[in-house]
């Protein structure tokens, strides 16, 4: 066994730290002394990978982000009509995908050779979970299948792609992540329309089975291109966990704002279809509330991804914070008519939908300050922080709805008033890192 020797200019310096982790990563024989890698930040292989990652984002995350369609159906149709805790299904699916990130990325750091196989394993688990959901008779059954098991499969399928993205894009990392994460918005445009049609015509059992088949057939071809840029040895190379960033004051401020913003971020997506129905909207117009949020989020993610590569990360976060906070308090809070509600959906999706795209900027900033920082574990912990807010969102929002009216004009004088205040305050607190920059902590 010998270590591979690259040709001159075949590898840039940003790759070197990835070649050896506690020893050489590659196995070869003496007859293969040279190798070359596909280019970083561009080229056919990088763009095919990014396109496949974008489509996978649509398929994996678009479904739970469209849960508002299912919630409206479950609350008004047997056998779940009148059941409590229905919002927990959606928040559980998304929240556990976020929360499991440190465990999944820890597994990949310890066993890097399993990453690509996990894409297929996760896909199978997701499809089985949807099939089991179609057999459910109670809300706890749905929480377990459509919530917990879907989240496990989604995390296993999706997380390797994030790890590979860090290898394929370096200087254009923000833009690449922004394009990939825009897939959630595209999924939120297409999937609600498909699901609404299937639910109205065939019911939830057939809808879940059809989507399970679509998910499998559409994802399998993508696995050809969803691969790492850097080859990994067949021998096991365990990597030490470097979690020093957890003691970094800057990271702690970013994480604080991330968690606080996550508490309220998902509330509109859960309740907008139901509220639109109370304004007299048809099922199609109810679905349009989620579609508008996701259409706007597509543009928000791409634009935010571009400026994250150029502006200070706290400035990017502040932009998202101001836009989302004002849209909640001034638009949603007074949206007693459907047109104003739709304007809110577009503004909220544009600004709030791009908040998670700032993660790549946080990763880059911490990496620039300390080259020993594990970027993927930074992402994993940020994702877990968002998951904390997401999981708490379900029961907290249910409790807030039961509080009833708080007084005032517009939506503030309805049962949704506490939700508006909670979401707006949460959005505002998401910008706490900018205050840290002013005070010199970031």
More confident residue, 366 or 269: 366
d(CA 202, CA 364): 47
Exposure string over 356-383, b if 16+ CB within 10 A, otherwise e: bbbbbbbbbbbbeeeeebbbbbbbbbbb
Range with lowest mean pLDDT among 114-118, 237-241, 301-305, 399-403: 237-241
pLDDT of residue 286: 83
pLDDT of residue 19: 40
Average pLDDT over residues 77-96: 83
d(CA 119, CA 156): 6
- In Å, what is the CA distance from 364 to each residue of 195, 230, 310? 38, 20, 11
Q: What is the C-alpha R_g of the chain?
A: 22
- In Å, what is the CA distance from 168 to each residue of 41, 71, 175, 243, 272? 6, 38, 12, 23, 37
Range with lowest mean pLDDT among 15-29, 35-49, 231-245, 255-269: 15-29
- In Å, what is the CA distance from 264 to each residue of 143, 164, 290, 394? 21, 30, 16, 10
CB atoms within 10 A of CB 261: 27
pLDDT of residue 241: 63
pLDDT of residue 51: 95
User: In what helix (H) or strand (E) does residue 62 lie, and over which residues does it extend?
Assistant: helix 44-65
Query: What rounded mean pLDDT belongs to the chain?
Result: 84
Please write the tens of the pLDDT for every residue from 188-202: 788 888 888 899 899
Domain 44-438 fold: Growth Hormone; Chain: A; (1.20.1250)
Please write the tens of the pLDDT for every residue from 41-82: 888 999 999 999 999 999 998 888 778 788 888 988 888 887
Exposure string over 397-432, b if 16+ CB within 10 A, otherwise e: beebbeeeeeeeebbbebbbbbbbbbbbbbbbbbbb
Report which DSSP code applies to 20: B
Complete DSSP assignment for 159-197: HHHHHHHHHH-STTHHHHHHHHHHHHHHHHHHHHHHHHH
The domain ranges of the chain are 1-37, 44-438
Tokens of 52: 């496949």
d(CA 69, CA 272): 10
d(CA 345, CA 19): 45
pLDDT of residue 33: 41
pLDDT of residue 396: 83
- C-beta separation of 333 from 410 below 8 A: yes
Percent of the chain with pLDDT over 90: 38
Complete DSSP assignment for 234-258: SS--------GGGG-HHHHHHHHHH
Average pLDDT over residues 173-178: 87
CB atoms within 10 A of CB 302: 17
CA 50 and chain centroid, separation? 16
Residue 18 above 50 pLDDT? Answer: no
Within 13 A of 20's CA, how many CA atoms are on the CB side? 9
């Amino acid at each position: 066994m010998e270590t591979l020797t690259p040709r001159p200019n075949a590898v840039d310096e940003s790759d070197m730290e990835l070649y050896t982790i506690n020893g050489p990563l590659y196995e070869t024989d003496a007859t293969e002394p040279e190798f070359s890698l596909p280019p970083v930040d561009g080229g056919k292989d990088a763009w095919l990978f990014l396109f496949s990652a974008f489509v996978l984002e649509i398929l994996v995350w678009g479904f739970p982000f469209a849960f508002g369609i299912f919630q409206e159906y479950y609350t008004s149709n047997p056998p779940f009509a009148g059941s409590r805790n229905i919002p927990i299904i959606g928040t559980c699916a998304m929240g556990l995908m976020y929360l499991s990130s440190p465990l999944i990325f820890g597994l990949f750091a310890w066993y890097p050779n399993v990453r690509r196989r996990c894409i297929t394993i996760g896909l199978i688990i997701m499809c089985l979970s949807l099939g089991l959901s179609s057999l459910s008779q109670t809300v706890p059954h749905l929480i377990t299948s459509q919530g917990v098991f879907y989240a496990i499969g989604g995390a296993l399928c999706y997380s390797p792609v994030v790890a590979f993205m860090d290898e394929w894009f370096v200087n254009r990392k923000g833009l690449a992540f922004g394009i990939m994460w825009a897939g959630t918005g595209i999924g939120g445009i297409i999937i609600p329309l498909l699901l609404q049609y299937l639910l109205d015509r065939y019911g939830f059992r057939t809808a879940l089975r059809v989507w399970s088949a679509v998910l499998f057939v559409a994802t399998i071809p993508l696995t050809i291109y969803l691969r790492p840029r850097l080859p990994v040895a067949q021998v096991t190379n365990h990597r030490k966990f470097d979690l020093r960033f957890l003691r970094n004051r800057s990271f702690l401020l970013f994480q604080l704002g991330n968690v606080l913003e996550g508490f309220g971020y998902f509330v509109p997506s859960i309740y907008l279809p139901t509220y639109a129905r109370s304004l007299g909207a048809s099922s199609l117009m109810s679905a349009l509330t989620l579609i508008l949020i996701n259409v706007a989020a597509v543009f928000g993610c791409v634009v935010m991804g571009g400026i994250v590569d150029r502006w200070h990360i706290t400035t990017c976060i502040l932009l998202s914070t101001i836009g989302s906070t004002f849209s909640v308090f001034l638009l949603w809070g007074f949206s007693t008519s459907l047109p104003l509600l739709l304007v809110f959906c577009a503004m909220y999706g544009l600004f709030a939908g791009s908040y998670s795209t700032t993660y790549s900027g946080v990763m880059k900033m911490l990496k620039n300050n300390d080259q020993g920082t594990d970027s993927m574990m930074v992402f994993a912990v940020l994702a877990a922080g968002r998951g904390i807010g997401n999981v708490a969102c379900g029961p907290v929002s249910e409790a807030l709805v039961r509080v009833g009216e708080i007084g005032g004009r517009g939506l503030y004088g309805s049962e949704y008033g506490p939700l508006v205040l909670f979401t707006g305050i949460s959005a505002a607190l998401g910008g706490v890192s900018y205050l840290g920059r002013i005070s010199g902590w970031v």
